[in-house]
């Protein structure tokens, strides 16, 4: 019962913060994941992603959450992440640099990995409701050892 109450309270908190936020967004795109490890070969993977979040939640700070789906070693792979974002530009006008920190969890190919990541990129506004986003996410992965990965994401972000 306590567990159910916790998840209900968390869902209400998230929905309440989204209702108060000025600029929620939904983004669809693809990510190219490149993982580098000294003990193994370099791995490359393409992942389809859906990302959602809130821009300018507290001044220029926002949050973003992501869900990715790909193929790893012949099976389905899932990618979940959460990031804190800082937007340097103005909403709806030209180019807006983005920086942030976050974490990511990967499930697939018979393994689970946890990663800490930085985030840097650009958001180019096509109009006030749509923008093109290009992000680089250097990630330090922990999965039975440590490896470094670089995620390059391209997507279209829509502000409803």
How far is 85 from 50, CA to CA, in rounded Å? 17
- Mean pLDDT of the chain, nearest integer: 79
Nearest to 85 by CA among 51, 114, 113: 51
Query: For residue 61, what are the β-bridge partners?
Result: 58, 86
Query: What average pLDDT does range 148-158 have in this prediction?
Result: 85
Residue located via tokens 């992501």: 66
Domain ranges across the chain: 22-158
CA-nearest of 64, 99, 56 to 81 is 64
Confidence of residue 5 (pLDDT cuts 50, 70, 90): low
4 compared with 67, residue with greater pLDDT: 67
Q: pLDDT for 94-141, tens place per residue?
A: 898 999 999 999 887 778 889 999 999 999 999 888 899 999 989 888
Q: Any idea of the CA torsion for 62, 131, 78, 111, to the nearest 10 degrees? A: -70
What global pTM score does this model have?
A: 0.73
Class of domain 22-158: mainly beta
Whole-angstrom Cα Rg for the chain: 17
Contact between 106 and 97 under an 8 Å Cβ cutoff? The reply is: no
Half-sphere CA count of 37, side-chain side, radius 13 A: 14
**Cα dihedral 135→80→9→19 (10° resolution):** 30
């Amino acid at each position: 019962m306590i567990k159910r109450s916790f998840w209900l309270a968390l869902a209400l908190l998230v929905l309440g913060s989204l209702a108060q936020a000025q600029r929620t967004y939904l983004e669809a795109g693809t990510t190219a994941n490149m993982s580098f490890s000294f003990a193994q070969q370099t791995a490359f993977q393409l992942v389809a992603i859906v990302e959602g979040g809130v821009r300018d939640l507290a001044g220029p700070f926002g949050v973003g959450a992501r869900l990715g789906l790909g193929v790893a070693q012949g099976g389905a792979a899932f990618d979940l992440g959460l990031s804190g974002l800082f937007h340097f530009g103005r909403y709806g006008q030209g180019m807006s640099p983005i920086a942030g920190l976050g974490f990511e969890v990967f499930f697939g190919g018979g393994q689970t990995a946890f990663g800490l990541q930085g985030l840097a990129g650009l958001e180019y506004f096509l109009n006030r409701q749509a923008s093109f986003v290009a992000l680089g996410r250097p990630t330090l992965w922990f999965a039975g050892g440590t490896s470094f990965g670089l995620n390059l994401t391209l997507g279209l972000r829509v502000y409803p």
